[in-house]
Amino acid sequence: MGTTAGLADRSARDEVQTLSREALECLQLEKLNQLLATILPTNRFYQEKLGACSGLTALSQLQDLPFTTKAELLAEDSFANNLTWEKEHYVRFHRTSGTKGNPMAVLDTAEDWQWWMQVWQYVLDAADVTAEDRAFLAFSFGPFIGFWSAHDALVARGVMSIPGGGLSTRSRLDLISSSQPTILFCTPTYALRMAEVAVEHGIDLTNSSVKRIVVAGEPGGSIPSIRNRIESAWGARLIDHAGASEIGPWGFADQKRTGLHICESEFIAEIINAETNEPVAPGEPGELVLTCLGRVGSPLIRYRTGDRVIPTQVDSSNFVLLQGGVLGRADDMVVIRGVNVFPSALEEILRSFDDVVEYRITAFQDGEMDGLSVEVEGRLDNPQRIKDAIEVGLGLRVQVILAETNSLPRFEAKGRRFIDNR
């Protein structure tokens, strides 16, 4: 039995996904106006940004409001400065990972945290989680929000949550063996790292109790080569999802696991050309902009996530589908000899080779020319076939260097495999 009323009502969540676009936008407009009416009397950040705006008569008017960026959220005291109330009203403290810039503290009221739990249920629905499951959370319980919210959402659903913090990778594998979880929660990087350590110690993960793996935190869960690599190593089904500390858990996997649905009952989504700020057409890549409809204590309106996505629409759900999930960060793109290169595109190629265990990408400058080198570690005799695959896939010649066994860094959370030395 779930511990919070309404969290297990999957039929209501399924029903809202079948709303017509017109009905869904009416729901979004109603929620947005409720949010504005609540926050504007006390939220100084949005009082200044929105000026005299007190509500919208049509959802199209949202495009007249200014964007919100992460850079303007960070206050001098390292807290996010979009708070609606004084800090004493908040009960949850979490912090962004700091992979881009300084870490930022984000706060939630008790009501906001309940909203997190409600939205997380879409993710758990996609993974077919029931109260009979046991979930292993392979991460350290530090200030990062992601798996704290996963833990509480699982408990609210009546699922046994097994924390794997403070352990080595080998110890986590031992705990999985003894506790017999059916679902694993981690990053794509760490799912592969656990598989690597299992091979080193002669552990066959395909015979483990884990049948589903829920991943987030970086691109990979919706990229076929990475998903296939993880599923093959574990003998388990991979389910992607997406969110961010400052905005919430906005994305859940589609039935075919080819991408991510935006939870449009709780978020208004725009996908824009990052240079022109104009909407992109379905099938074209753009930057994801989100307006959060339920996080009153730390609201975000037209927030530029920096995530690069490709929108499309499918018949099985009226929620927008992002083909391939999050493809990477818009600010991660590098230009090498006139070619736009996203690290996630390189990873998709590299992970298609079963004998590549780990890798590192370095951008460098050789005289007046930019170059790219890829160090690969694994069971490789000749790197030429990797060079050929990258040249065919990206139209770019790169250096491929064989690295010694265990010489490249390993990661337990988000992988940091790209270095720009230019």
**Between 242 and 144, the higher pLDDT residue:** 242
Q: Residue 1 has what pLDDT?
A: 41
Asked if residue 414 has pLDDT above 60, the reply is: yes
What does the pLDDT read at residue 6? Answer: 43
pLDDT of residue 266: 97
Residues pairing with 95 in the sheet: 105
Whole-angstrom distance, CA of residue 179 vs CA of residue 172: 10
* Per-residue pLDDT, 417: 80
Helix (H, G, I), strand (E, B) or coil at 302: coil
The per-residue pLDDT of the chain, averaged, comes to 88
Q: Identify the residue with better confidence: 163 or 412.
A: 163
pLDDT value for 314: 54
How much is the pLDDT for 407? 87
Residue 387 has a pLDDT of 87
Q: From residue 245, how far is each of 82, 127, 220 by CA, in Å?
A: 13, 21, 19
Comparing 61 with 349, the larger pLDDT belongs to: 61
Q: Pick the closest to residue 362 from 334, 387, 382, 321 (CA basis).
A: 334
Which position has the higher pLDDT, 304 or 189? Answer: 304
The pTM score is: 0.83
Please report the domains of the chain, with CATH numbers, ordered by start residue.
1-330 (3.40.50.12780), 333-420 (3.30.300.30)
Query: Tens of pLDDT along 80-137?
Result: 999 999 999 999 999 886 555 578 999 999 999 999 999 999 999 999 999 999 999 9
- Give the pLDDT confidence score for residue 3 in this predicted structure: 47
* pLDDT score, position 101: 59
Helix/strand/coil percent split, the chain, to 5: 30, 25, 40
Task: Identify the pLDDT of residue 338.
Answer: 65
| Inter-helix orientation angle 343-350/384-394, to 10° | 130
Specify whether the CB–CB gap between 31 and 271 falls below 8 A.
no
Residue pair 274/330 in contact (Cβ under 8 Å)? The answer is: yes
Tell me the pLDDT band of 170, cut-offs 50, 70 and 90: very high
Average pLDDT over residues 48-73: 93
Tens digits of residue pLDDT in 189-239: 899 889 999 999 999 999 999 999 999 888 778 888 889 999 999 999 999
- 97-101, 109-113, 256-260, 273-277, range with greatest mean pLDDT: 109-113
- CA distances to 15, 271, 301, 309, 317 from 320, rounded to whole Å, are 15, 11, 19, 11, 8
